[in-house]
Amino acid sequence: MSQEKSLRALSCADDYDPDSMPVDRARELIRTFLAPVTATERVHIRAALGRVLAADVVSPLAVPGHDNSAMDGYAVRYADLASGSETTLMRVGESFAGKPSGATVGPDQCVRIFTGAVMPQGADTVVMQERASEDAGRVRVAAGAVTKEGQNRRFAGEDLKAGQLVFRAGQLVHPAELGMMASLGIGEVTVFRKLRVAFFSTGDELKSIGTELAAGEIYDSNRYTIHGMLTRLSCDVLDMGVVPDVPEQLERAFADAAAAADVVITSGGVSVGEADFVKQLLDKLGEVVFWKIAMKPGRPLAYGRIGDAHFFGLPGNPVSVMVTFYEFVQDALRVLQGRREVVPLPMFKVPLSAPIRKVPGRTEFQRGILAADGNGGFTVRTTGDQGSGILSSMSQANCFIVLSAETGNCAVGDLVGVQLLEGLI
């Protein structure tokens, strides 16, 4: 089926009522239209943070390169240690990190060794220094100082083996990957090029910061939240400002954005009443479907293509913008960036510390505060008023409380789904 046909199919012929598209279904449908970027560039590993590897990384060497000590202590032969009593060994050398000892450890001998230092010939085990004492080259090892051969010894290649596949193309680079590449001596990597994302806000009432507000006007905040969310996803952003609800200006803005970017994101102008007007425009410029998603906030959402660009028409309300971005746009961008595995935000169950009122029918993404319960566990409650214009709720929240379409009112102690807004990596 051609893309054009299938996009049309999305808006009408489906098992689902297009006026009320379930969240998961909308995600699945969007996914079927996403083809990752293919162009690549070479960057220094520092600049690779947040980018997606475009080629496999194979280890050119073993890490660590040599057997070495995990402790400060004495490198010994396990077989020399008496099982139930103290053992005395003669010290025959010293091995520092970066300065190996030339000595070979023979029977009843040992080498003073420090963390990260190469294991000397003949030794197989390290006794930690707290379990030994030294006097004039004679080292007394306490009974039971080690319990098995090889203790406190790190083995060559135990982290990475030479020739091993370390990362596959499609891997997102986090700080751990930067460190691993550095440990392999790799200074440059091939990553997919950045996605270019253009965005603008629509609405006659919107003013940009730095200008005076007339009666009834408001400052445009969506361009700033969108700028922030895109920047954290390592996209090249193209902020096209505010476009008033004037057909000619909107048409030009849509066309310019699509010509300049891989993805176009707008906010506002897709709610009932406004949609018809924007819809006509977009029908002319591309293939766009308008969905009423069965979710709260974020009910109206447009998705499709304008020219070669993907298009996401987000609702205007500031909270709806963020919720729809995190629930639909973010994963789509990750796929387009070349990520190999894109899985939805993890969700776990946490008991409520305050009741929630909800009417069944739509999936709700309430802004939540996850807090320690004082007993080693966690509880969650909402931030309070859940109006889709109350952007302070997003700032106060550290999670979404995700309530499925079927869920109704929830009581204290009920387990609810929680998605963390902030992650460690």
Q: How many Å is the maximal CA-CA distance in the chain?
A: 92
Residue 218 interface partner, choices ligand AMP, Mg ion, none, CB cut-off 5-8 Å depending on type = ligand AMP
Show the DSSP H helices in 138-187 as ranges: 175-183
Binding mask 166-205 for ligand AMP (x = CB under 6 A): -----------------------------------x-x-x
Q: Decide if residue 266 touches ligand AMP (CB under 6 A).
A: no
* CB within 8 Å of 113: residues ≥ 6 apart: 69, 72, 73, 74, 75, 94, 95, 101, 119, 120, 123, 126
For 409, the token pair is 């009112």
Return the number of the residue (219 or 378) whose C-beta is nearest ligand AMP.
219
Q: How far apart (Å, rounded) are the C-alpha atoms in residues 123 and 395?
A: 57
Return the number of the residue (167 or 291) whose C-beta is nearest Mg ion.
291
CB of 296 to Mg ion, least distance (A): 19
Residue span binding ligand AMP (CB under 6 A) among the ranges 37-45, 108-116, 213-221, 256-264 = 213-221
Return the number of the residue (68 or 202) whose C-beta is nearest ligand AMP.
202
Return the number of the residue (316 or 338) whose C-beta is nearest ligand AMP.
316
Cβ neighbours, 10 Å, residue 124: 16
Cβ neighbours, 10 Å, residue 213: 10
CB of 97 to ligand AMP, least distance (A): 56
Binding-site ranges for Mg ion (CB under 5 A): 203, 268, 316
Q: Decide if residue 59 touches ligand AMP (CB under 6 A).
A: no
> Site for ligand AMP (CB under 6 A): which residue of 161, 274, 396, 404?
274
Q: How far apart (Å, rounded) are the C-alpha atoms in residues 287 and 374?
A: 53
Q: Decide if residue 206 touches ligand AMP (CB under 6 A).
A: yes
Element (H, E) at 190: strand 188-192
Number of chain positions touching ligand AMP (CB under 6 A):
17
Return the number of the residue (120 or 318) whose C-beta is nearest ligand AMP.
318
Q: Decide if residue 317 touches ligand AMP (CB under 6 A).
A: yes
- Distances 42 to 39, 182, 280, 300 between C-alpha atoms, Å: 11, 16, 42, 40
CB of 239 to Mg ion, least distance (A): 18
Residue 271 interface partner, choices ligand AMP, Mg ion, none, CB cut-off 5-8 Å depending on type = ligand AMP
Q: How many CA atoms lie within 13 A of 181 on its CB side?
A: 24
Q: Is there a contact between 402 and 425 (Cβ–Cβ < 8 Å)?
A: no
Return the number of the residue (126 or 257) whose C-beta is nearest ligand AMP.
257
Q: Decide if residue 316 touches ligand AMP (CB under 6 A).
A: yes
CB of 273 to ligand AMP, least distance (A): 8
Q: Is there a contact between 169 and 53 (Cβ–Cβ < 8 Å)?
A: yes
CB of 317 to ligand AMP, least distance (A): 4
Return the number of the residue (74 or 290) whose C-beta is nearest Mg ion.
290
Q: Decide if residue 236 touches ligand AMP (CB under 6 A).
A: no
Q: How far apart (Å, rounded) are the C-alpha atoms in residues 232 and 225?
A: 11
Return the number of the residue (69 or 266) whose C-beta is nearest ligand AMP.
266
Q: How far apart (Å, rounded) are the C-alpha atoms in residues 239 and 256?
A: 12
Query: 163-167 long-range CB contacts below 8 Å, 24 or more apart?
Result: 163/58, 163/59, 164/58, 164/59, 165/56, 165/57, 165/58, 165/59, 166/57, 166/58, 166/59, 167/53, 167/56, 167/57
Residue 220 interface partner, choices Mg ion, ligand AMP, none, CB cut-off 5-8 Å depending on type = ligand AMP
Q: How far apart (Å, rounded) are the C-alpha atoms in residues 208 and 136?
A: 78
Where on the chain is the footprint of ligand AMP (CB under 6 A)? 201, 203, 205-206, 218, 220-222, 267-269, 271, 274, 315-318
